[in-house]
Amino acid sequence: MKILPILSSILCTAWASPTPPEKPYTNPLLPGWNSDPSCVHAADHNDTTFCVTSTFIAFPGLPVYASQDLQTWKLASNAFNRPSQIPGLRETTNQQGGLYAATLRYRGGKFYVIVSFLGPSTRGLLFTSVDPFRSEAWSEPVEFDVVGIDPDLFWDDEDDGGDGKVYVTSADDQRIQQYSLDLETGETGPAVDLWNGTGGVSPEGPHVYKRDGWYYLLIAEGGTEVDHAVTMARSRKRTGPWEPCPHNPVLTNRDTTQYFQTVGHADLFQDGNGSWWAVALGTRSGPEWVTYPMGRETVMAPATWAEGEWPVIEPVRGQMQGPLPRKDSRSLQDRGEGPFIKRPDRLDFAPGSAIPAHLVYWRYPKVDHFAVSPAGHPHTLRLTPAFANLSGDASFQPDDGITLIARRQTDTLFTYTVDVDFSPTVVDEEAGITLFLTQRQHVDLGIVLLESARGELTPSLRLRAEGRGNYEGDIPTKTIELSREWLKKPIRLGIRAVSDETYEFFARSKGRSETVLGSVDAKVVSGNTGKFTGEWALLR
Ligand SMILES: *[C@@H]1O[C@H](CO)[C@@H](O)[C@H](O)[C@H]1NC(C)=O
Ligand SMILES: *[C@@H]1O[C@H](CO)[C@@H](O)[C@H](O)[C@H]1NC(C)=O
Ligand SMILES: *[C@@H]1O[C@H](CO)[C@@H](O)[C@H](O)[C@H]1NC(C)=O
Ligand SMILES: CC(=O)N[C@H]1CO[C@H](CO)[C@@H](O)[C@@H]1O
């Protein structure tokens, strides 16, 4: 199979650096499915900011992105990159389970990623690394008894009036709870209730910060849908009592007509110049919240946080401006494993190369089902069909594996093509491309062997969908029998987003004109079983 996808503390001292002038920028910051961001600035890593986002059951997972200008982001590594780190992913059937809402922190030269793994059971996992630009440098996780979801990591420093212990703050049972964690052994202390929020459903996504003698607790409320909001409380003591912020919610787009909705699940960080920023998740859906194939993306808003005061975060808009660092991420060019994430791809799987770090599988792959440039076929990726299709049938076990390798949709408008060299020999055998949200929701264009009306086995092109998401109309299935001419050469299969609401599926044999098989409404891959994930344009 030949594959050619073309895709498109504010320092109040005399030595404080001057704040750079305001510069315009656009959201999303990390386009495509990049929900639940958590970011940290590492001054002694060349003033680089790092963020981690959610990947649920995709593998590799927990991507760590790096930037120096807060605009150009590069995939530095994947904190979750080998099955030994989380054997239980093999048995995770829930399409919205797995790994989400991690917290990234940096301290004493070490990076920490703490997360709940929702697999056969719910476990807390803590990954560490001293080299965020290398996936392999991420540790095997220290496991701990997590209380619920969305763990945060906070050092209650003695020289800042604390008890010197490390605390995890997480969400369970409609409240935010906190307990100590031994970073070496994973031993946890008793959980205490911190805060229930201001009354919204699902208080979650907590982060704790200490400033000017106050413990600040930032949380998400309202559920990660159109009522999503960020609220805050503070206390002189780590365990409360908590005083809610008088201008809660500190960040939300609910009850607005904004394109960016569901804004919430925020984290705050301070860049090298002392400027504060909030990152959060947002969905480009408008208030209708019906068409959103890109899923939940990472957005950023400038913030100010005066001494002894509450932070003030600007509402999230598509076009914003703020004191962006005057650095240049180009110095990251040769660092890390993945690409600058807004660049188009042209992948040719050169002999001896690895599968690019930004491509993902659904759970663990059968490694030998994905061969880069096998003997006699340089510059190709050979996929071996799995027994099950992308949906899996009733007897499908997650560890049977589906042959799927995917790239995030990072642009609303794009063209994606793959040159497929495949001659099916068994009835129903199929290979092609897919627009994939979950195993229950995807639109597939494949080359498949079908029995014709005349009873003959005929190679055909077939467009069909599994699931319907938020779409209510008829979803057409289209089948075209392929003549011998088509089969002599690789067939180029493609998906084109003709608008942010419509995908067109097409095919072309070399020297022939393009055949459009049909258009599919983006609502098909919005909502329902993939409410919390986002779109992948894929090959399989
Ligand atoms: C800082 O950047 C230089 C030049 O790119 C690189 O050699 C060095 O390793 C970087 N330091 C860290 C801590 O990343
Ligand atoms: C917080 O929520 C928990 C669980 O629902 C409840 O038991 C508790 O009474 C609530 N606390 C307050 C102060 O409302
Ligand atoms: C997947 O395979 C199952 C079982 O063979 C079949 O019922 C289903 O229609 C197939 N779905 C797709 C989208 O290929
Ligand atoms: C670390 C950092 O970003 N420093 C910048 C702070 O702002 C000044 C003025 O724009 C820049 O010169 C520094 O490079």
Position 9 pLDDT exceeds 50 = no
Ligand 4 pocket mutation pick from 11, 273, 276, 329 by most atoms within 8 angstroms of CB: 273
Residue 83 has pLDDT above 80, yes or no: yes
Mutate to test the pocket of ligand 3, among 387, 389, 520 (most ligand atoms within 8 A of CB): 389
Q: Which of 174-178, 228-232, 330-334 has the lowest mean pLDDT?
A: 330-334
Q: Are 114 and 139 in contact (CB under 8 A)?
A: no
Q: What is the dihedral of CA 374, 375, 376, 381, to 10 degrees?
A: 0
109 in ligand 4 pocket by Cβ < 6 Å? no
Residue boundaries of the structural domains of the chain? 36-332, 345-539
- Phi, psi of 171, rounded to the nearest 5 degrees: -120, 130
Look at the pTM and tell me if it is higher than 0.85: yes
pLDDT exceeds cutoff 50 at 254: yes
Distance 273 CA to ligand 4 centre (A): 6
Whether pLDDT at 12 is above 50: no
Which ligand sits closest to the CA of 244? Answer: 2
Residue 46 has pLDDT above 70, yes or no: yes
Q: State the average pLDDT over residues 217-233.
A: 97
Helix (H) or strand (E) holding 60: none
Round to whole Å and give the CA distance between 28 and 522: 19
Residue nearest to atom 14 of ligand 4 (CA): 326
User: How many whole angstroms separate alpha carbon 163 and alpha carbon 176?
Assistant: 20
Collapsing DSSP to helix, strand or coil, 528 comes out as: helix
Distance, first Cα to last Cα, the chain = 10
b/e per residue 353-387 (b: at least 16 CB within 10 A): eebbbbbbbbbbbeeebbbbbeeebeebbbbebbe
Q: Which residue has the higher pLDDT, 534 or 143?
A: 143
Question: For the segment 353-383, what is each residue's pLDDT rounded down to a tens digit?
Answer: 999 999 999 999 999 999 999 999 999 999 9
DSSP notation for 187-234: -B---EEEE--SS-S--EEEEEEEETTEEEEEEEES-SSTT-EEEEEE
Phi then psi for 84, rounded to 5 degrees? -60, -25
To test the ligand 2 pocket, which listed residue (147, 175, 201, 235) has its Cβ within 8 A of the most ligand atoms? Answer: 175
pLDDT at 540 over 70: no
pLDDT given at position 538: 47
Phi, psi of 331 (to 5 degrees): -65, -10
In ligand 1, the atom with minimum distance to the C-alpha of 45 is: 13
The confidence score (pLDDT) of residue 393 equals 64
* Interval 54-67 mean pLDDT: 97
pLDDT at 10: 35
46 Cα: distance to centroid of ligand 1 (angstroms)? 6
Query: Is the per-residue pLDDT at 15 higher than 50?
Result: no
Q: What is the mean pLDDT of residues 165-185?
A: 98
pLDDT of 5 over the 60 cut:
no
State pLDDT tens for residues 257-297. 999 999 999 999 999 999 999 999 999 999 999 999 999 99
User: Are 274 and 11 contacting, i.e. CB atoms less than 8 angstroms apart?
Assistant: yes
Q: Residues near ligand 2 with C-beta < 6 Å?
A: 173-175, 196
Q: Residue 531 has what pLDDT?
A: 55
340: DSSP letter: B
pLDDT band at 13 (very low <50, low <70, confident <90, very high): very low
| Residue 331 Cβ < 6 Å to ligand 1 | yes
* Both tokens assigned to 500: 């942010």
Q: How confident is the model at residue 246 (pLDDT cuts 50, 70, 90)?
A: very high
Beta carbon of 391 within 6 Å of any ligand 3 atom: yes
Q: Is residue 484 within a helix (H) or strand (E), and if so which, with residue range?
A: helix 484-487
CA-to-CA distance for 102 and 79, rounded, in angstroms? 11
Q: Which ligand is nearest to the CA of 41?
A: 4
Among the listed residues 272, 278, 274, 279, the one whose alpha carbon sits nearest the alpha carbon of residue 307? 274
How many CB atoms sit inside 10 A of residue 508's CB?
Answer: 17
Q: Which residues contact 324 (CB under 8 A, 6 or more apart)?
A: 20, 23, 25, 69, 70, 71
Q: Which pLDDT belongs to residue 2?
A: 40
Structure-derived torsion over alpha carbons of residues 440, 441, 443, 449, reported in degrees to the nearest 10: 0
How many angstroms separate the CA atoms of 422 and 404, rounded?
16
Q: Could you give the 3-state DSSP secondary structure of residue 70?
A: coil
pLDDT, residue 6, reads 36
pLDDT value of position 530: 64
CA 89 to CA 346: how far, in whole Å?
Answer: 30
CB of residue 329 inside a 6 A radius of ligand 4: no
Atom of ligand 2 minimally distant from the CA of 175: 2
Which amino acid residue places its CA nearest to atom 2 of ligand 1?
A: 46
Strand (E) or helix (H) holding 510: none
Q: Which residues contact 367 (CB under 8 A, 6 or more apart)?
A: none
CA of 392 to the centre of ligand 3 (A): 7
Distance of CA 27 to the CA centre of its chain: 16
Q: From CA 494, how far away is CA 445, in angstroms rounded?
A: 8
| Helix, strand counts (H, E) of the chain | 1, 37
Averaged over 307-318, what is the pLDDT? 98
Taking the centre of ligand 4 as the mean of its atom positions, its distance from the CA of residue 295, in whole angstroms, is: 34
Per-residue pLDDT averaged across 431-443, rounded?
A: 93
Task: Tell me the average pLDDT of the chain.
Answer: 92
- Fold category of 345-539 in CATH: Jelly Rolls (2.60.120)
- DSSP-derived pairing of the beta strands 441-451 and 405-408: unpaired
Choosing from 9, 11, 17, 67 the residue with most ligand 4 atoms within 8 A of its CB, the one to mutate for a pocket test is 17
- Span 376-413, pLDDT tens digits: 999 999 999 888 888 876 567 767 778 999 999 999 99
Closest Cα to atom 13, ligand 1: which residue? 45
Mean pLDDT of 177-198: 98
Could you report the per-residue pLDDT of 321-337, keeping only the tens digit for each? Answer: 999 998 888 889 999 99
Q: Is residue 432 lining ligand 4, measured as CB closer than 6 Å?
A: no
Q: Using a 6 Å cutoff on CB, does residue 148 contact ligand 4?
A: no
Atom of ligand 3 nearest to the CA of 394: 4
For the domain made up of 36-332, the CATH class stated in words is mainly beta
Tell the residue nearest (CA) to atom 1 of ligand 4. Answer: 272
Q: Is the pLDDT of residue 193 over 60?
A: yes
